[in-house]
Amino acid sequence: MCGIVGYIGPKEKKEILLDGLQELEYRGYDSAGIAIIQGEKLNSFKAVGKLKNLREKTKDYTSKGFGISIGHTRWATHGKPTELNAHPHLGAYSYVVHNGIIENYQELKKELQQEGVTFLSQTDTETIVHLFEKYHNEGFEPFEAFKKTVNRLEGAYATLLITEAAPDTIFFAKNGSPMLIGFDGEEVYFASSDTPIIGKANEVYYLEDGEYGYVQNGKVHLFDSHGEKVFHTQPLIADKAMAQKEGYRFFMEKEIYEQSRVMGETMMGRVLEEEIVLDELDADFFKGINTIKICACGTSYHSALTAAYLFERLAKIRCDVEIASEFRYKEPLLTKDTLFVTISQSGETADTLEALKMAKRAGLKSLSICNVDNSSIVRESDTAILTRAGIEKGVASTKAFATQTMVLWMLALYVGQVKQTLPKEVLKAEIDAMLHTPKALVVTDELHARLHRLSKRYLHGHGFFFIGRDIFYPLALEGALKLKEISYLHAEGYPAGEMKHGPIALADAELFTIALMPKTMHYDKIKSNVEELSARDATICAISPLPFELADDFVQTHYSSHPMVEFFEMMVVTQLLALEISVRLGNDVDMPRNLAKSVTVE
Ligand code: F6R
């Protein structure tokens, strides 16, 4: 949610900021802005909408020679996406960018307004720059003024501040929102994640919550509540080429096609012929654990719901799943025999992170399943299993969901193994099926062409129901979420058996039902649910290996002997269908309206 970059050094700052923001644009793209101090001169530019508007606005501006600079791409939380609300926010002689939410901003704003400060924007962020200038005007040195400002902030923030009062210094603070510092000799970079600094910096330091400081003359001064601290950087190793589109029209499309390959990486060294090996877990990790509780949001939550069936069925261990934003405020009863599992692609989702902190405070053991190493959730968890999906750039998550579900399936088998609740022959059959999944995820030209053709019939209507049973119910939820995110058409996922308890009232020819009809799981049951809908004239698109005579449209999947293999193949079908519908509707597939990739506010 929002992206921040900063740079201090002699290079062309405008380009560094714009290129960095380009890498972060997926986090929010309502507006963007940059501010640069070079010598005594302060310049700033802002533009509403995508970054290209800011590029256009700054095309005649250059910023070579030593200077300091900050930039921001915004996903609106307080105030509409206007130029006035775009960051950087200006005081009288300072600029600030911020990611997160200042929870006590109204109180601070009132206090400042009473002292005569005029606010230009509706944002919480603007309070930071005015507070800073207030303390500076009271006679505090710039760093003392910044420190006093940070001490007043409540909530989540990653923030950078520059001021004419210290034209060779960038001030920074982090609490709850991600930020890192990159180093290349005397040049110093800031960013919300490592992609903007790949190829520029060679060492990196991931800031911890509660850290703040300043950078001056190529030296970073870092503080926490105990005072100035020594910190150690680590080499920045990342392959930027992986993050490019590689010839696909959209990142989402590339990521759907990649699933077959990355699944191999997810399993590598973990899925052996007759056992699951998870080096991340100590031998006695599950000792004393009788229940698993999983917390996540959105797509990751759907993966968790799928896993609940697997944990109970395969490992015979109780598993509850909760939406993180609900969990946080329900005063949950937590017992120490519960393993607390969080699932997150980004590792930065605010609600999931907070749920994890709550579980830790209650003394629970924690495990995260995450795609981003060094992310806040990974660092906060006792142990993490990385999904190894590679950078996911499409806002609509695809390969992250596939690899999360695979890791959870592996974990269910692993628990069955260590608790000896899973017979050897069942384990062997599950592993065999696992090894077949990369094949089930291959996108053939034929399949893609079929979904492209079908998609033209699904561009209108008064809604979609994705229906399924058992693990195909969470898949139905996920299929519906994918479709609504990028097509802006209304779609719901439903357990097929529930349709006649209300939703069937909506059935008519304009109600599109996407029926997930696997051969290996309750086929006859779902068939009769679909027949009931068809009898009421609903338009049926059946996805199944078995031909279904009542289907208006039919996507035939392969025969398989295992539900999870069918699950993954059907997942690809629903992803491609959503993609093709979105393309036909002319939508921005990778950056759908109103969404952001990493939701770092609650
Ligand atoms: C949907 C999607 C979101 C995320 C959710 C949680 O395509 O991507 O629903 O799944 O915001 O994000 P993570 O997994 O990063 O915690």
Percent residues over pLDDT 90 in the chain: 82
Q: What is the helix (H) or strand (E) element at residue 569, kind and residue range?
A: helix 563-584
Q: Is 486 in the pocket of ligand 1 (CB under 6 A)?
A: no
The neighbour count for residue 141, using CB atoms within 10 Å, is 12
Structure confidence by residue, pLDDT tens digits, 158-171? 999 999 999 999 99
Q: Is 345 in the pocket of ligand 1 (CB under 6 A)?
A: yes
Three-state SS sequence of 471-524 = CHHHHHHHHHHHHHHHHCCCEEEEEHHHHHHCHHHHCCCCEEEEEECCCCCCHH
Q: Is 485 in the pocket of ligand 1 (CB under 6 A)?
A: yes
Q: Residue 397 pLDDT more than 70?
A: yes
Q: Higher pLDDT residue, 236 or 297? A: 297
* Residue 265 pLDDT grade (very low, low, confident, very high; cuts 50, 70, 90): confident
| Ligand 1 atom nearest residue 400's Cα | 14
Homologous superfamily of 3-243 in CATH? Aminohydrolase, N-terminal nucleophile (Ntn) domain (3.60.20.10)
Ligand 1 mean position to 302 CA, how many Å?
10
Name the pTM for this structure: 0.79
Give me the active site residues, please.
2, 597
Give the pLDDT mean for 398-409: 98
> How far apart (Å, rounded) are the C-alpha atoms in residues 555 and 514?
10
> Ligand 1, atom 8: nearest CA belongs to which residue?
397
Q: Is 394 in the pocket of ligand 1 (CB under 6 A)?
A: no
> Ligand 1, atom 16: nearest CA belongs to which residue?
344
The confidence score (pLDDT) of residue 240 equals: 59
Q: Residue 459 pLDDT more than 90?
A: yes
> How far apart (Å, rounded) are the C-alpha atoms in residues 543 and 444?
16
The neighbour count for residue 593, using CB atoms within 10 Å, is 12
> How far apart (Å, rounded) are the C-alpha atoms in residues 147 and 543?
59
* Residue 244 pLDDT grade (very low, low, confident, very high; cuts 50, 70, 90): low
The confidence score (pLDDT) of residue 415 equals: 97
Residue 159, CA distances (Å) to 97, 212, 409 in order:
6, 9, 39
Ligand 1 mean position to 599 CA, how many Å?
8
> How far apart (Å, rounded) are the C-alpha atoms in residues 587 and 373?
31
The confidence score (pLDDT) of residue 447 equals: 97
Contact 464, 574 (CB under 8 A): no
Give the pLDDT mean for 15-37: 90
* Residue to mutate, 306, 321, 349, 403, ligand 1, most ligand atoms under 8 Å from C-beta: 349
Q: Is 346 in the pocket of ligand 1 (CB under 6 A)?
A: yes
Structure confidence by residue, pLDDT tens digits, 506-532? 889 899 999 999 999 999 999 999 999
Structure confidence by residue, pLDDT tens digits, 76-94? 767 788 999 999 999 999 9
Report cis status (omega within 30 of 0) of the bond before 474. no
Instruction: Please choose, from the candidates 393, 406, 439, the residue with its C-alpha nearest in 3D space to the C-alpha of residue 255.
Output: 393
Q: Is 298 in the pocket of ligand 1 (CB under 6 A)?
A: yes
Q: Residue 391 pLDDT more than 90?
A: no
The confidence score (pLDDT) of residue 50 equals: 86
> Ligand 1, atom 5: nearest CA belongs to which residue?
298
> Where in the chain are all domains bearing CATH 3.60.20.10?
3-243
Q: Is 589 in the pocket of ligand 1 (CB under 6 A)?
A: no
Ligand 1 mean position to 219 CA, how many Å?
36
Q: Residue 243 pLDDT more than 60?
A: no
**Lowest-pLDDT choice from 204-208, 319-323, 337-341, 482-486:** 204-208
Q: Residue 200 pLDDT more than 90?
A: yes
The confidence score (pLDDT) of residue 239 equals: 63
Ligand 1 mean position to 236 CA, how many Å?
25
* Residue to mutate, 75, 299, 475, ligand 1, most ligand atoms under 8 Å from C-beta: 299
> How far apart (Å, rounded) are the C-alpha atoms in residues 499 and 460?
21
Ligand 1 mean position to 299 CA, how many Å?
5
Percent residues over pLDDT 70 in the chain: 98
Distance of CA 82 to the CA centre of its chain: 25
Q: Is 534 in the pocket of ligand 1 (CB under 6 A)?
A: no
The neighbour count for residue 375, using CB atoms within 10 Å, is 25
Structure confidence by residue, pLDDT tens digits, 531-580? 999 999 999 999 999 999 999 999 999 999 999 999 999 999 999 999 99
The confidence score (pLDDT) of residue 238 equals: 66
Q: Is 352 in the pocket of ligand 1 (CB under 6 A)?
A: yes
Q: Give the orientation angle of helix 445-455 with respect to helix 563-584, to 10 degrees.
A: 50
> How far apart (Å, rounded) are the C-alpha atoms in residues 538 and 504?
9
The architecture CATH gives domain 445-584:
3-Layer(aba) Sandwich (3.40)
Ligand 1 mean position to 598 CA, how many Å?
7
Q: Is 539 in the pocket of ligand 1 (CB under 6 A)?
A: no
> Where in the chain are all domains bearing CATH 3.40.50.10490?
251-438, 445-584
Mean pLDDT of the chain: 93
CATH of 251-438, one of 3.30.479.10, 3.40.1280.10, 3.40.50.10490, 3.30.70.20: 3.40.50.10490
Structure confidence by residue, pLDDT tens digits, 117-138? 999 999 999 999 999 999 999 9
Q: Higher pLDDT residue, 145 or 236? A: 145
Ligand 1 mean position to 21 CA, how many Å?
21
* Residue 29 pLDDT grade (very low, low, confident, very high; cuts 50, 70, 90): confident
* Residue to mutate, 397, 404, 478, ligand 1, most ligand atoms under 8 Å from C-beta: 397
The confidence score (pLDDT) of residue 375 equals: 85
The confidence score (pLDDT) of residue 1 equals: 62
Q: Residue 241 pLDDT more than 70?
A: no
Helix (H, G, I), strand (E, B) or coil at 136: helix
Contact 259, 402 (CB under 8 A): yes
Q: Higher pLDDT residue, 384 or 76? A: 384
- Bridge partners of 464, per DSSP, are 491, 512
Ligand 1 mean position to 58 CA, how many Å?
33
